[in-house]
Amino acid sequence: MGRWEPNARDRLQRAALELYSENGFDQTTVADIAQRAGLTERTFFRHFADKREVVFWGEDALHELFVSAVADAPDSASPIDAVAAGLEAILSYFEPITRAAARQRQAVIAANTGLQERELSKYSSLAEGIADALCNRGVGALTANLTAMAGVAVFKVAVEGWIDGTDGRDLSQHIRESLGELKALASGG
């Protein structure tokens, strides 16, 4: 192995998801992942704190994109429209992610209770960040929390629809549809 290998993080992620899918998360070791990627364990730990982080790497960037867009929405934007701006902003995060890769990642999470708990924790943290951004915009705490949780639900439902979809619609279409349904529901429609 050379001292420097291009695309190490991507290679480690692909190897990990393949192995998690083939053998299960708990049965896969960091050594297995590094070997499959043609790298060392030391290289693995340069990129990831542990083998769970391979599944959730990049979530901090998604969180930051979403929350920043909510905070930076025009002053005239309603709370739900500020959240809609956040949903639009995160589409750039998903551009390099294929539906097949997202489907594989979600299957790995669905097969492991610990990863499911971690995912729920990430959603909760995202909702808290959105609620804080809304409160900083002058929105009351109750409205901020409800809107943030609804925004995370729209995101979750849209991503699941995109992953499971066979109709060729992209994630932006799923997000807009889910957000439209939420707005219709809130208005009594």
137 confidence band (pLDDT: 50, 70, 90): very high
2 confidence band (pLDDT: 50, 70, 90): very low
Q: Identify the pLDDT of residue 22.
A: 96
Rounded CA separation 16/22 (Å): 10
Q: Identify the pLDDT of residue 98.
A: 87
Burial of 160 (0-12, 13-18, 19+ CB in 10 A): middle
Q: Identify the pLDDT of residue 165.
A: 84
**Statement to judge: residues 67 and 93 lie in one domain:** yes
3 confidence band (pLDDT: 50, 70, 90): very low
List the structure tokens of 140.
Answer: 């009351």
Query: Residue 177: inside a domain, yes or no?
Result: yes
Residue 37 belongs to a domain with what CATH number? 1.10.10.60
List the structure tokens of 8.
Answer: 């190490």
**Statement to judge: residues 70 and 133 lie in one domain:** yes
Phi-psi region of 138 (alpha: psi -120 to 50; beta: other; left: phi over 0): left
Among 66, 61, 107, 105, CA closest to 83: 66
Q: 73 lies in which domain range?
A: 58-186
**Statement to judge: residues 155 and 113 lie in one domain:** yes
The mean pLDDT value for 140-169 works out to 94
What rounded mean pLDDT belongs to the chain? 93
pTM over 0.85: yes
**Statement to judge: residues 36 and 91 lie in one domain:** no
How many Cβ atoms from other residues are within 10 Å of residue 15's Cβ? 21
Rounded CA separation 39/46 (Å): 11
Position of tokens 């939420």?
Answer: 182
Domain count across the chain: 2
* pLDDT greater than 60 at residue 116: yes
Chain centre to alpha carbon of residue 99: 13
The mean pLDDT value for 104-122 works out to 95
Q: Identify the pLDDT of residue 4.
A: 55
pLDDT in tens, 49-102: 999 999 998 889 999 999 999 999 999 999 999 999 999 999 999 888 889 999
**Statement to judge: residues 112 and 136 lie in one domain:** yes
**Statement to judge: residues 41 and 70 lie in one domain:** no
Query: Residue 1: inside a domain, yes or no?
Result: no
**Statement to judge: residues 39 and 71 lie in one domain:** no
* pLDDT greater than 90 at residue 33: yes
Q: Identify the pLDDT of residue 167.
A: 83
